[in-house]
Amino acid sequence: MGETEIIIFIALVSLAIIAFVVMTIALLLQYRKKKMAYENEKKQTEALHQTELLNVKLEVQDETMQHIGIEIHDSVAEKLTLASLHLQHAEYENKYPGLNEILMLSSSLINESLDELRLLSRRLLKQGDEQTDIVQSLQRECNRVAQLKICLVHFISDCSSIMMDTKVANTLLRIVQESIQNSMKHAHCNNISITLANRHGPFTLTISDDGIGFDAVVADQSQGFGLKSIKKRAGIIGAELIQTSSPNNGTCTKVILTQKNDLF
Amino acid sequence: MALVLLTDSKTHHILLQKIDLLKIALTIAEATACIVGFRYWKKLKDTYWKFFPVYLACILAAELLGRYLGYKKLYTANLALYNYFVIPLEILFFISLFYRTFSTRSLKRLSIIVAFIYMACWFSEMFLLPKVSSFWVGALSYTVGIVTLLVLILSYLFKLSSSDEIVFIKHNMMFWVCMGLFVFYAFSLPFYGMYNYLYKHHYNFYLTYSNIIFFLNYIMYGLFTLAFIWGKPKSSFS
């Protein structure tokens, strides 16, 4: 009789131990599972929020550009046309023969400005559905930077022309501009190379310099606005961004467009 | 033979002295939980959790009174204090805590049912059934009360594990209270359930397990203290 009672006692204590262990493990596993799901959801929401924010920014930017385009077309261009007509009239009447050459020069200058303004206005207004040649845009950008004579700029492309959505092309152009600015401002480099590859494999844009470089780990922790904005821009167009750098070994920024069909 | 008896009585005396020390440590653990509870009164005062430090103060006062009655050798009064006040207060307080915490109607109903079952057992054992033993009368009602509490604890933990609130488990006061209660009651239930038997037939075993019960008590009051420190009583779940 005595032994039975002790066995019951031990069995009950063992049961309590087993129940406690099972309960704790089950709770821990469930906690881990839910915590991971929660963290993922949080990250996704944050990413979504960032994308929405950037989209709103882009929309506002587009609206502003359209507004500026309309203003240029309707107001500034109209006034300049009027000024050009006045000048042509003055030239035709030949009241001041000594000033004729100046009047002609001014008139042609105004007409050139008008053409440029109209082109600008058209670009600003039709930005949404236009296609842009990224090779040409990049070539222009390289020429512009080369004229500053701060460093040498090399541009290499395996295609003579790549047409793509203007928004994507502009974003790529901004990434290039930001990278070049970083290279010129912080890297103290002599050469900047911009390479475009599209023929074999995915569209890849590479911007590299031979400057002082930076410690990738330190830069990752204290990302400045330039690096952040490059990352954000790449995120908007769904591009993969690879930035490699180490002290005294220059910097290389690679933008790879994997979802080609959506963008071209 | 005489020497053996002497050694036995000496060992017994040391054991009792050790138990006295453990009792003091228990009082300190209870007092700590109670003081920490009142220390965080600000965050508890607008919720039902404000009753928890008050309850702990009552238990502490009752334990001290019990200690005094034991010192004065008023064992019957001491027993009555536990059977008629401390144990019913403990069980009914925690059942009410679960009742307030549960958000679904079915679980609230379960709390009321188990409270009635316990009260019926307690009433019949105290006033209707013949007294089994002179030193521990409430073994049946105590067992029933603890089993019902364990049912509520497991229901709560099961519900918590399936809800998203498990992510904020650290700030969930009820979780820490549940763990404390489970550790103490699940491991002490076999002991208190068979208290009379162990006391009579296996006195040494009874003394050894008494020590373990003290440590379980320390864990329970430690977890209550953590509940006060980490808990956020205004969160949606607790």
pLDDT tens profile B140-173: 788 888 889 999 999 999 998 888 888 888 899 9
Average pLDDT over residues A166-181: 84
Interface of A with B (CB under 8 A): 2, 5-6, 8-9, 12-13, 16-17, 19-20, 23, 26-27, 30-31, 34-35, 38
Residue B76 pLDDT > 50, yes or no? yes
Contacts of B182 in chain A (CB under 8 A): 20, 23
User: Which of helix, strand or coil describes residue A243?
Assistant: strand
CB atoms under 10 Å from CB of B83, counted, come to 18
- DSSP letter at A163 equals E
Residue B235 pLDDT > 50, yes or no? no
Report the candidate in B234, A228, B210, A211 with the shortest Cα–Cα distance to residue B202: B210
Cβ-defined contact of B189 to A12 (cutoff 8 Å): yes
Residue B227 pLDDT > 90, yes or no? yes
- DSSP letter at B6 equals H
Cβ-defined contact of B161 to A9 (cutoff 8 Å): no
Which residue in chain A has the smallest CA separation from B162? A30
Distance CA A237, CA A258 (A): 10
Contacts of B160 in chain A (CB under 8 A): 27
Best residue of B197, B205, B213, B220 to probe chain A, by most A CBs closer than 10 Å: B197
Distance CA A87, CA A111 (A): 11
Cβ-defined contact of A16 to B187 (cutoff 8 Å): yes
- pLDDT given at position A259: 62
Cβ-defined contact of B162 to A2 (cutoff 8 Å): no
| Segment A83-106, tens digit of pLDDT | 888 888 887 887 777 777 888 888
- Whether ipTM > 0.85 holds is no
Q: Which residues face A256 on adjacent strands?
A: A204, A240
First to last CA, chain A: 87
Query: pTM of the prediction?
Result: 0.60
> What is chain B's mean pLDDT, rounded?
84
- pLDDT given at position B1: 31
Best residue of B153, B160, B161 to probe chain A, by most A CBs closer than 10 Å: B161
Q: What is the CA radius of gyration of chain B?
A: 19
> What is chain A's mean pLDDT, rounded?
82
Distance CA B4, CA B24 (A): 30
Cβ-defined contact of A2 to B157 (cutoff 8 Å): no
Residue B186 pLDDT > 80, yes or no? yes
The pLDDT confidence band at residue B180, using thresholds 50, 70 and 90, is very high
- CB pairs below 8 Å between A and B: how many? 51
Report the candidate in B219, B153, B173 with the shortest Cα–Cα distance to residue B53: B173
Which residue in chain B has the smallest CA separation from A16? B186
Cβ-defined contact of A9 to B190 (cutoff 8 Å): yes
The pLDDT confidence band at residue B218, using thresholds 50, 70 and 90, is very high
